[in-house]
Amino acid sequence: MHILEERQRQVHRKGSEPFDLDCNKQSAAGSVSQRACVFCGSRVVLYPIADALHLVHGPIGCASYTWDIRGALSSGPQLHRNSFCTDLKELDVIQGGEKKLHKALTQLIVEHQPKAAFVYSTCIVGVIGDDVEAVCRQISAEQGIPVLPVHSEGFKGTKRDGYRAACEALLKLVGTGDPSGVSKASINILGDFNLAGEVWMIRKYYERMGLEVTATITGDGRVDDIRRAHGAALNLVQCSGSMMHLAKVMKDRYGIPFRKVSYFGIEDMSQALYDTAAHFAGVVPGIQERTVELVRGELQYILPEIAEYRKRLAGKKAAIYVGGAFKAFSLVRALRHLGMDTVMVGSQTGLKEDYEELRELCDEGAIIVDDSNPLELSSFLSERQVDLFIGGVKERPIAYKLGIGFCDHNHERKLALAGFEGMLNFAREVYGTVASPVWRLTPRGSAREAAPCR
């Protein structure tokens, strides 16, 4: 397969060469990259805050494509599942969109009484020179709620920069509420977006350990909780790509320590709870014992069934291509728990140290790739004779066309994959797709049946 010269250092085969992966750079123009933009990053991170207004300032497309896109669930308000947009027209591009923005915001805030408003700038807002900041300030003064500009012009970087813009907006909320009454044994859950209700599951674990959850940021998020999040004693950061910036600034500003955690897979999930318990050992009596008990109980429930899947999945090969590299670490470990080898792993926006860690984690010969594209992906899948591909929307049909099982670990997961129960769901889903009889009907399946062993 032909790989563009400027991309050749973004692909590494473990064992074949010294490790010097190129990453965190702009995609080559003209490549069919799987990446998205700054706006996309900000929008997916912030929109789960369910009692806030989310207004997209720009032409209609950006609002249409992100309308309830991710399945982030709320236990209360559902305002975030609507799509609000200033729907800029040709005349607005010439004359500026500030008046329209002012009018739209006023109307929406009066009508829906949200606790806060986020205003997302799209590409052209950055070019036509609207002073979104000033409009937000003015509306905030007029309406008496925080109105927060999100500097998410699409061209200003990658999704990763969008996460940062989202964190900057959140940082204007954090610290504006009254933290009195927040327990010393309290945490914030950062970087879980409550897809398929995952944050509810995680929250319950911590509560069973005897901890109080001050804010979930942003899954099933509420503005008032975020405003007093600075009263919590510890930040637990999942999906560190999106929320690390918030955690770091909260540490500097409010002295709140943070821990990186992951809730995917048995090892990582248990580790997250044990680490948290250790942190609160002196504050919450009996927390470590309770945590051990909790983990034991959960494992007792899920392990027997997982063992069955493991028997049948042992030796199968998996490939992973996800947005942020951090998720890939957990997936490699979780797949190993199922007896599977990860032979290809990549991400849209990983950093050097992420890939370094992935290389450590994977076996000899594994392909490690940054900012890949469909042509490369399908050739890697075929070359390594993969049985399972884990990715997002755009990767799914590529796997199916090749006759390979697929598991969505992104927006389109329908079952919770986090937590202990999530590991069981994951095992079921992986087994279900890898062992599906449909593959026997495909050329790849027939070829395998014809071969006595592989």
127 or 278: CB nearest another protein: 127
Q: Closer to another protein at the Cβ: 88 or 234?
A: 88
Distance from first CA to last CA of the chain, Å, rounded?
24
What amino acid is encoded at 362 in this protein? Answer: C
| CB of residue 154 to another protein, shortest distance in Å | 4
Closest contact distance (angstroms) between CB of 378 and another protein is 4
Q: How far is the CB of 90 from another protein (least distance, A)?
A: 5
Q: Could you tell me if residue 62 is left (phi over 0), alpha (psi between -120 and 50 degrees) or otherwise beta?
A: alpha
Q: Phi/psi zone of residue 274: left (φ > 0), alpha (ψ -120 to 50 degrees), beta?
A: alpha
Min. distance of Cβ 343 from another protein in angstroms? 18
Residue 432: how many CB atoms within 10 A of its CB? 12
Alpha helices in 260-319 (DSSP H): 266-279, 287-313
CB of 206 vs another protein, minimal distance in Å: 28
For the CB of residue 93, give the shortest distance to another protein in the complex, in Å: 6
**Structure token pair of residue 4:** 């563009």
User: Environment class of residue 33 by beta-carbon count within 10 Å: exposed (0-12), middle (13-18) or buried (19+)?
Assistant: middle
* Strand order, beta sheet including 234-237: 212-218, 186-192, 234-237, 258-260
* Smallest gap from residue 123 Cβ to another protein (A): 4
Ramachandran sector of residue 174 (left: φ over 0; alpha: ψ -120 to 50; beta: rest) = beta
Whose Cβ is closer to another protein: residue 232's or residue 402's? 402
Angle, to 10 degrees, between the axis of helix 419-434 and the axis of helix 266-279? 170
Residue nearer to another protein on the CB measure, 158 or 240: 158
Site of tokens 């959960």 = 298
CB of 39 to another protein, least distance (A): 6
3-class secondary-structure state, position 151:
coil
Beta bridge partner(s), residue 259:
236
Question: Least distance in Å: CB of 102 to another protein?
Answer: 8
Using DSSP's 3-state secondary structure scheme, residue 435 falls into: coil
- How many C-alpha atoms does 179 have within 13 Å on its Cβ side? 21
CA-wise closest residue to 306 among 339, 351, 281, 352: 339
Nearer to another protein, 298 or 371 (CB): 371
Which residue, 103 or 251, has its beta carbon nearer to another protein?
103
Distance of closest approach, residue 35 Cβ to another protein, in angstroms: 5
As given in the structure block, the two tokens for residue 174 are: 């954090």
Q: Give CA–CA dist 241/160, Å, rounded.
A: 7
Sign of CA dihedral 51, 54, 60, 64: negative
User: For another protein, which is the closer residue by CB, 126 or 191?
Assistant: 126
* Closest distance to another protein from the beta carbon of 160 (Å): 12
For another protein, the closer of residues 11 and 338 by Cβ is 11
> Which of residues 223 and 338 has its CB atom nearest to another protein in the complex?
223
Count of helix runs (H) and strand runs (E) in the chain: 18, 14
Return the structure tokens found at 280. 């609160």
Which of residues 96 and 210 has its CB atom nearest to another protein in the complex?
96
Rounded distance, CA 159 to CA 152, Å?
Answer: 9
Residue closer to another protein by CB (options 113, 300) is 113
